[in-house]
Copies of this chain bind each other. A is one copy, B any other.
Amino acid sequence: MSLFVQKFGGTSVANLERIRNVAKRVAKTYDRGNDVVVVVSAMAGTTDSLIKMAEEVTESPSKRELDMLLATGEQTSAALLAMTLQSMGYKAVSFLGHQAEVCTDRAFGNARILEIGAGRIKEAIGKKKIVVLAGFQGADPNGDITTLGRGGSDTSAVAIAVAICADVCEIYTDVDGIYTADPNICEKARKIKEISYDEMLNMASLGAKVLQIRSVGFAKKYNIPVHVRSSFSEEEGTMVVNEDSGMEQLVVSGVTHNKDEARITLKKVPDQPGIAAKIFDPIADAGIMVDMIIQNTRAGGQTDLTFTVPKKDYKQALEIEQKVAKEIEAEEVWGDPNIAKVSVIGVGMKNHSGVASIMFHTLAKENINIIMISTSEIRISCIVEEKYTELAVRVLHTAFGLDSDT
């Protein structure tokens, strides 16, 4: 007998028929003698149409009122799922964020969970009820309704799993797990059976599609196993677990790519203390996130500085730096939006040297030029020309022994 948290996304509860399927799935787990807390998102499309309605009212709706509005989406699906379970003869009860004491900060629209009381959830479980929790929402210390940002129901699920000491948090989604690479561009991609929290965190571009990254941080902190699996099949998906949990440690677990960045280079920047702040402060002030930064020192007290920004912010960032360049008397500013970031990720990397070397050789063999490199303990990322993205992913996937036929 275990305590399960099962989270179902918007497509899984898109209509009453699908809600019935979710109820059957939940009931099956319950019938095996387990306790179940279900976390639901809003029915697919609901959140978007609520946002659209708010935008018809005003271009910039107040975030507090927008959260008040958006929270109705999960409230609706939670009530409907509880009713469905009851109609099948199960004792079920729905709770909203504030009723489950999901306490957040006051960052409306992107609130962070401070703590979860879950007193009423525990009480209901004690009475062998199936609990349905409205995901995505909480309440701040004033009792105002907050939402946790897109994909926030994943965080709700992991957080509630922590609060009630669940054995596992299952995230049901429309894909059947995490893959070693995007199957759309790498047909030899395999589903990963087990992956560590840290690898998952580093797989943002692959992972974000199926699991909100913030929820992974939460799961890691409290060591809650997260099972990412399909709501349309019974097949096992991918377990996201602690790396010490005895999982097989591959050197490289996956290859990811990201075409959403652009790079900007300032040439011949005077190499003086404080120069980096002059370059990056205006970018930060504009709310633009910088990802990679590299600096090549030239002779004669000058340096070239290259960094990447999200493609959508490319033009604005370029304009900002053109002004900055004049002020700091850099020689030239230029940029390139046609780049991609290809990364290999694996906790095994820590104990294996030579991963970078294999990566560089593999790309070189295909004449793929590496424009920038950045590394972390368990990840190596290379910026390459965008047109080589798919090729780079495929050859790296083969080179690190990830192909499904190996």
- CA–CA, A276 and B78, complex, Å: 47
Is B68 within 8 A of A75, CB to CB? yes
Is A69 within 8 A of B58, CB to CB? no
For residue A176, give the distance in angstroms from its CB to the closest CB of chain B: 28
CB-CB under 8 A from A16, the residues of chain B are 53, 56-57
A164 at the interface (CB under 8 A from B): no
A72 at the interface (CB under 8 A from B): yes
A83 at the interface (CB under 8 A from B): yes
The count of identical subunits is 2
CB-CB under 8 A from A98, the residues of chain B are 98, 143
Q: A57-B16, A84-B58, A144-B99 are in contact. Are A93 and B64 (CB under 8 A)?
A: yes
Is B72 within 8 A of A58, CB to CB? no
User: Which residue from chain B places its CB closest to the CB of A68 in the assembled complex?
Assistant: B79
Chain A contact residues, majority secondary structure: helix
- CA–CA, A65 and B56, complex, Å: 31
Is B68 within 8 A of A86, CB to CB? no
User: Which residue from chain B places its CB closest to the CB of A16 in the assembled complex?
Assistant: B56
Is A94 within 8 A of B80, CB to CB? no
Among candidates B62, B66, B71, B84, residue contacting A75 with C-beta atoms closer than 8 Å: B71
A87 at the interface (CB under 8 A from B): yes
- CA–CA, A181 and B62, complex, Å: 46
Q: A58-B83, A144-B99 are in contact. Are A94 and B68 (CB under 8 A)?
A: yes
- CA–CA, A17 and B114, complex, Å: 39
Is A87 within 8 A of B144, CB to CB? no
Is B66 within 8 A of A79, CB to CB? yes
Among candidates B50, B58, B145, residue contacting A87 with C-beta atoms closer than 8 Å: B58
- CA–CA, A120 and B64, complex, Å: 15
CB-CB under 8 A from A93, the residues of chain B are 64-65
For residue A212, give the distance in angstroms from its CB to the closest CB of chain B: 24
The residues in A between 269 and 305 inclusive whose CB is less than 8 angstroms from any CB of B are none
A309 at the interface (CB under 8 A from B): no
Is A82 within 8 A of B65, CB to CB? yes
CB-CB under 8 A from A61, the residues of chain B are 83, 86-87
Is A76 within 8 A of B82, CB to CB? no
A54 at the interface (CB under 8 A from B): yes
CB-CB under 8 A from A66, the residues of chain B are 79, 83
CB-CB under 8 A from A56, the residues of chain B are 16
Q: A94-B65, A99-B143, A144-B99 are in contact. Are A83 and B71 (CB under 8 A)?
A: no
Among candidates B58, B72, B76, residue contacting A86 with C-beta atoms closer than 8 Å: B58
- CA–CA, A87 and B208, complex, Å: 34
Chain A 207-240 interface 0/1 with B at a Cβ cutoff of 8 Å (1 = within): 0000000000000000000000000000000000
CB-CB under 8 A from A96, the residues of chain B are 68, 145
CB-CB under 8 A from A75, the residues of chain B are 68-69, 71-72, 75
For residue A68, give the distance in angstroms from its CB to the closest CB of chain B: 4
CB-CB under 8 A from A86, the residues of chain B are 58, 61-62, 65
CB-CB under 8 A from A65, the residues of chain B are 79, 82-83, 86, 93-94
Can you list 7 contacts pairing A with B, beta carbon distance less than 8 Å?
A57-B80, A57-B87, A58-B86, A72-B76, A96-B145, A99-B144, A120-B142
Closest 10 CB pairs of A and B: A58-B87, A69-B79, A72-B72, A68-B79, A57-B83, A65-B82, A61-B83, A65-B83, A65-B79, A72-B75
